[in-house]
Amino acid sequence: MSKTKKIKKATNREIEAIKTLFLEHYPNSVTELNYTNLYELLISVMLSAQCTDKRVNIITPALFDNYPNVVALANADINRVKEYIRSCSFYNNKAKNLIKMAQFVIENYNGEIPLEQKKLIKLAGVGQKTANVIMIEFTGANLMAVDTHVFRVAHRLGLSDASTATKTEEELSRKFKTDLHLLHQAMVLFGRYRCKAINPDCEGCFMTPYCKSKERFKV
């Protein structure tokens, strides 16, 4: 994890303006991952760690066809699972975690994937960010999740100078307070398509008045 560069912090007035602009430009933002139920969403989010949503969407149709539920996945042969997700980063660990996750859901949650942050975090391969993304997407929970895009955008706009994703999440939650589920996805999309790590598309950007830096801010 790289050290973050200290930048000028956004004022309370700027924070409100930034929040308003994000909600105006991304009023109904949702994940770009393809899923039809909670099981598929959980797997997609787990696979998306350090892997593009586009790649995950290519991988998952065959995976879901062969393992349509937690029972099928819990009894899967790990080498077959690896073959389905081989083009995804860290596929060895992800295959192990997918099977362990399914087994844990059956053994501890009666085969029902929980929709509580603390219970989700107990699943293999599911950290706070993944749990929050599940809650945000599936329930519209007022939570913030910080991936590499959100981290970069938050620091470029002076919304946070924290060195970790967790601390950045706390800062954003405290400053924005409401509509966190929409703001999370808005910042993801903004970071993915406009405020990119390399060669950000700054010309005509609606956030130009509030931009403090073009540093990469990797987490």
pLDDT per position as a tens digit, 192-219: 999 999 999 999 999 999 999 999 898 8
Q: Which domains does the chain have, with CATH numbers?
A: 12-30+143-210 (1.10.1670.10), 38-139 (1.10.340.30)
Residue 6 has pLDDT above 80, yes or no: no
- Which residues participate in catalysis according to the annotation? 129, 147
pLDDT per position as a tens digit, 84-139: 999 999 999 999 999 999 999 999 999 999 999 999 999 999 999 999 999 999 99
CA–CA separation, 191 vs 12, rounded Å?
Answer: 22
- Return the ∠ at Cα 47 (arms to 154 and 4), rounded to 5°: 25
pLDDT per position as a tens digit, 124-178: 999 999 999 999 999 999 999 999 999 999 999 999 999 999 999 999 999 999 9
Instruction: Write down the pLDDT at residue 219.
Output: 80
Instruction: Write down the pLDDT at residue 2.
Output: 45
Q: Are 152 and 195 in contact (CB under 8 A)?
A: yes
Q: Residue 133 carries which DSSP code?
A: H
Please report where in the chains the tokens 């509580």 appear, as a residue.
Answer: 116
Of 142, 143, 145, the C-alpha closest to 130 is 145
> Which residues, other chains included, contact 75 with Cβ-Cβ below 8 Å and sequence gap of 6+?
none
